[in-house]
Structure 1
Amino acid sequence: MAVVSVQWCRVVICGIRVSHDGGVAVIEDDRLVFGIELEKLDNSRRHRTLGDLDQVADILRSEGLAPTDIDRFVVDGSAPEMDSTETARIATLVGGRPVELAIAPYQDRPGCTIPLARHRFRGHGFGSAAEEYVSYHHVDQHIMGGYCTSPFAARGEDALVLVGDGGARARLYHVVAAARRVRSVATCQEQTQRLSLSSLVRQDPSLPSRLVVTGESALDIKWNSQLRGIFEEVWIPPFPDDSGAAIGAACCEMFRKGRSTALRWGVYSGPRVRVCGVPDNWRRQPCDERGVADLLHRKGEPVVVLSGRAELGPRALGNRSILAPATDSAMRDRLNGIKRRAADRSVAAVCLTQRAAEVFGPGGNDPYLTFEHRIRPEWADRIRAVQLDGTARVQTIDAAAKSPTARILSAYEVISGVPVLCNTSANSEGCGFFPDVAAAARWGGTRYIWSEGYLYTDQARVRQTTRERGSASREWGHTSVTW
Structure 2
Amino acid sequence: MLFCGLKLTHDGSVAVIQDDTLLFSYEVEKFNNNKRYSEIPDLTFVEEALALNGYTAEDVEHYTIDGWAGLKTGEVITRCQGEDLTLMVAPYREATLSANSLFPYPGKGLKLGGKERAYTSYLHSTTHLLSTYCASPFALRGEDAYLLVYDGGMYPRLYYFNYKQGMMENLGPIFMLIGNIYSLFALHFEPFFQKDLGPRVDDLSVAGKVMAYIATGNVKEELMGCFERIYREHFSPSMEFNWVFSREIKRFVDEHHISHADALASFHLYMERLLVDSINAAVRKHGNRSRNFCFIGGCSLNIKWNSAIRSSGIFDEVFISPFTNDTGSAIGAACCEMYRQTGNLHLKWSVYSGPSAVHNDPPEGWSQKAFSIQELARLLHETNEPVVVLNGRAELGPRALGNRSILATAIQPDMKDRLNVIKQRELYRPVSPICIEERAPLIFEPGTRDPYMLFDHILREPWSELIPAIRHLDGSARLQTVSKDDNPVIYDLLCEYEKLSRIPVLCNTSANLLGSGFFPDVRSATEWNGTGYVWCDGNLYYK
1:420 aligns with 2:505: yes
Aligned to 1:104: 90
Please list every run of 5 or more consecutive structure 1 residues that lacks an aligned counterpart in the other structure: 1-10, 459-483
**Contact 1:17/1:23 (CA < 8 Å) preserved in 2?**
yes
Aligned to 1:328: 412
TM-score, structure 1 as length reference = 0.90
Query: Take 2:98 and 2:484, find their aligned partners in 1: how far apart are those partners?
Result: 51
1:196 aligns with 2:182: no
Instruction: Output the amino acid matched with 1:38.
Output: V
The alpha-carbon deviation at position 207 of structure 1 amounts to 2.2
The alpha-carbon deviation at position 51 of structure 1 amounts to 1.3
Aligned to 1:449: 534
Instruction: Output the amino acid matched with 1:182.
Output: M
Instruction: Output the amino acid matched with 2:11.
Output: D
Aligned to 1:117: 103
- Larger CA deviation: 180-189 vs 325-334: 180-189
**Contact 2:43/2:111 (CA < 8 Å) preserved in 1?**
no
Aligned to 1:409: 494
**Contact 2:417/2:427 (CA < 8 Å) preserved in 1?**
yes
Instruction: Output the amino acid matched with 1:204.
Output: H
Query: Take 1:51 and 1:85, find their aligned partners in 2: how far apart are those partners?
Result: 25
The alpha-carbon deviation at position 253 of structure 1 amounts to 1.1
Please list every run of 5 or more consecutive structure 2 residues that lacks an aligned counterpart in the other structure: 178-270
1:281 aligns with 2:371: no
Instruction: Output the amino acid matched with 2:107.
Output: F
- Larger CA deviation: 160-169 vs 221-230: 160-169
Instruction: Output the amino acid matched with 1:397.
Output: V
**Contact 2:97/2:170 (CA < 8 Å) preserved in 1?**
no
- Aligned with 1:135: secondary structure? strand
- Larger CA deviation: 445-454 vs 92-101: 92-101
- Aligned with 1:285: secondary structure? strand
Query: Take 1:260 and 1:90, find their aligned partners in 2: how far apart are those partners?
Result: 29
- Larger CA deviation: 443-452 vs 174-183: 174-183
**Contact 1:14/1:250 (CA < 8 Å) preserved in 2?**
yes
The aligned runs of 1:55-134 (5 Å cut-off) are: 55-79=45-69, 84-111=70-97, 113-127=99-113, 131-134=117-120
Aligned residues: percent identity? 42
Query: Take 1:210 and 1:110, find their aligned partners in 2: how far apart are those partners?
Result: 25
Aligned to 2:17: 27
1:358 aligns with 2:442: yes
Residue by residue over 1:3-60, the C-alpha shift from the partner in whole angstroms, topping out at 9 and shown as x without a partner, is xxxxxxxx11000011111010000111000000010011111111111112211110
1:174 aligns with 2:174: no
Aligned to 1:474: none
The aligned runs of 1:287-298 (5 Å cut-off) are: 287-298=371-382
The aligned runs of 1:378-389 (5 Å cut-off) are: 378-388=462-472, 389=474
- Aligned with 1:78: secondary structure? coil
**Contact 1:284/1:455 (CA < 8 Å) preserved in 2?**
yes
The alpha-carbon deviation at position 62 of structure 1 amounts to 1.2
Aligned to 1:464: none
1:48 aligns with 2:12: no
| Among 102, 118, 142, the residue aligned to 2:128 | 142
| Among 365, 388, 393, the residue aligned to 2:478 | 393
Aligned to 1:314: 398
The aligned runs of 1:228-307 (5 Å cut-off) are: 228=310, 229=312, 230-307=314-391
Instruction: Output the amino acid matched with 1:215.
Output: G
- Larger CA deviation: 327-336 vs 123-132: 123-132
1:158 aligns with 2:134: no
- Larger CA deviation: 32-41 vs 247-256: 247-256
Query: Take 1:395 and 1:402, find their aligned partners in 2: how far apart are those partners?
Result: 12
Larger helix percent: 2
- Aligned with 1:223: secondary structure? helix
Query: Take 1:402 and 1:384, find their aligned partners in 2: how far apart are those partners?
Result: 25
Query: Take 2:486 and 2:25, find their aligned partners in 1: how far apart are those partners?
Result: 21
**Contact 1:17/1:75 (CA < 8 Å) preserved in 2?**
yes
Query: Take 2:303 and 2:513, find their aligned partners in 1: how far apart are those partners?
Result: 24
Query: Take 1:338 and 1:142, find their aligned partners in 2: how far apart are those partners?
Result: 34
The alpha-carbon deviation at position 295 of structure 1 amounts to 0.7
* Distance 1:104-1:151 versus aligned 2 partners, 3 A rule: same
**Contact 1:29/1:259 (CA < 8 Å) preserved in 2?**
no
- Larger CA deviation: 314-323 vs 88-97: 88-97
Instruction: Output the amino acid matched with 1:77.
Output: G
**Contact 1:74/1:249 (CA < 8 Å) preserved in 2?**
yes
Query: Take 2:170 and 2:479, find their aligned partners in 1: how far apart are those partners?
Result: 33
* Distance 1:22-1:400 versus aligned 2 partners, 3 A rule: closer
- Larger CA deviation: 29-38 vs 190-199: 190-199
* Distance 1:77-1:203 versus aligned 2 partners, 3 A rule: closer
Instruction: Output the amino acid matched with 2:495.
Output: S
Query: Take 2:172 and 2:87, find their aligned partners in 1: how far apart are those partners?
Result: 32
The alpha-carbon deviation at position 113 of structure 1 amounts to 2.6
- Aligned with 1:310: secondary structure? coil
The alpha-carbon deviation at position 201 of structure 1 amounts to 2.7
The alpha-carbon deviation at position 130 of structure 1 amounts to 6.5
| Among 484, 496, 516, the residue aligned to 1:431 | 516
Instruction: Output the amino acid matched with 2:331.
Output: I
Instruction: Output the amino acid matched with 1:33.
Output: L
Residue by residue over 1:99-157, the C-alpha shift from the partner in whole angstroms, topping out at 9 and shown as x without a partner, is 21111111112246321110001122532756200000101111000100000011011
Residue by residue over 1:295-341, the C-alpha shift from the partner in whole angstroms, topping out at 9 and shown as x without a partner, is 11110000000011001000000100000001112000000001111
- Aligned with 1:301: secondary structure? coil
- Aligned with 2:345: secondary structure? coil
- Aligned with 1:377: secondary structure? coil
Alignment: residue pair count: 444
Instruction: Output the amino acid matched with 1:19.
Output: T
**Contact 2:369/2:541 (CA < 8 Å) preserved in 1?**
yes
Query: Take 1:457 and 1:40, find their aligned partners in 2: how far apart are those partners?
Result: 23
